[in-house]
Structure 1
Amino acid sequence: MPEISRFLGIIISMYFDEHNPPHFHVQYNEYRASMDIRNLNITAGSIPAKVRGLVEEWAELHCDELLMMWETKDFHRIQPLV
């Protein structure tokens, strides 16, 4: 699973040939979740509220890029939240 960003102990990744809706995976310590790229809802798993807020902030900044990567499967690193 390609890691596309890492910040503050949070790892963001996407799988190749994944099912719809477009989403990414979040890992933080023992927590795991999948988040819909378009509405940032958690579709599976759970993460702490503070982590979710940071991931939402990051994803809002990179929404178009995330959707493009989902569609093209051309994964690359995305700038972390600073």
Structure 2
Amino acid sequence: MPRLQRFSSTEIAMFFADHNPPHFHVLGKEGAAQVRIDTLEVMASSGRIDLKEALAWAAENRAFLEEKWAEYSGDGQ
């Protein structure tokens, strides 16, 4: 699972060959979330996790996330 960005309390990662829709994972010490790349909608979350910093970064780096999704998932989207 490549880690793409680290923050003070969370990090952004993607899984190889993950399921659609294109998304990334926000991982923290006390929880995790899955977030769609196109809308930044939180698809699932568990535990306690602060998403503010990760979502702000994702909004500014959406093209990078889309590129990495295509690279890691192999679906070319």
Shorter-normalised TM range: 0.7 to 0.9
Q: TM-score, normalized by length of structure 1?
A: 0.78
Q: Which residue of the partner structure matches residue 6 of structure 2?
A: 6
**Percent of counterpart pairs with the same letter?**
35
The 5 A counterparts of 1:2-81 are: 2-46=2-46, 47-48=48-49, 51-73=50-72
Secondary structure at 2:51's aligned position in 1?
A: helix
RMSD over aligned CA atoms reads 1.6
Q: Which residue of the partner structure matches residue 79 of structure 1?
A: none
Runs of 4+ in 1 over 4 A off after TM superposition: none
Q: Which runs of 5+ in 2 are unaligned?
A: none
Letter in 2 for 1:11: E
Asked whether the equivalents of residues 11 and 27 of structure 2 are also in contact (C-alpha less than 8 Å), the reply is: yes
Q: TM-score, normalized by length of structure 2?
A: 0.83
Number of residues of Structure 1 aligned to a counterpart in Structure 2: 72
Q: Which runs of 5+ in 1 are unaligned?
A: 75-82
